[in-house]
Amino acid sequence: MIQNNFVGPVVFLKLGGSLITDKTQIELVRKDVLARLAKEIARSVQNNPDLNVLLGHGSGSFGHVPAARHGTREGVRSNLDWHGFVEVGRVASKLNAIVRNQLVAEGLKAISLQPSASAICRDGGLIQFNMEPVLMALSARLIPIIYGDIAFDTQRGGTIISTEEIMSFLSDKLQPSWLLLAGETAGVYDVKGKIIPIISPENFETIRPALGGSRGTDVTGGMATKVESMLELVKRQPNLQIRVFSGLVPDSVEKGLAGESTVGGTLIRGLPV
pLDDT digits (tens, 9 = 90+) for 10-54: 999 999 999 999 988 889 999 999 999 999 999 999 999 999 999
The radius of gyration of the chain from alpha carbons, rounded to an integer in Å, stands at 17
Q: pTM for the whole thing?
A: 0.92
| Lowest mean pLDDT segment, chosen from 21-35, 201-215, 231-245 | 201-215
pLDDT digits (tens, 9 = 90+) for 140-164: 999 999 999 999 999 999 999 999 9
* C-alpha separations of 103 from 38, 58, 108, 247 in Å: 5, 16, 6, 16
Q: Are 15 and 23 contacting, i.e. CB atoms less than 8 angstroms apart?
A: no
Virtual CA dihedral for 104, 120, 175, 238, nearest 10 degrees?
130
Q: Is 132 exposed, middle or buried (0-12, 13-18, 19+ CB in 10 A)?
A: exposed
Q: Are 201 and 231 contacting, i.e. CB atoms less than 8 angstroms apart?
A: yes
Indicate the pLDDT class of residue 230, thresholds 50, 70 and 90: confident
Residue 273 has pLDDT above 60, yes or no: no
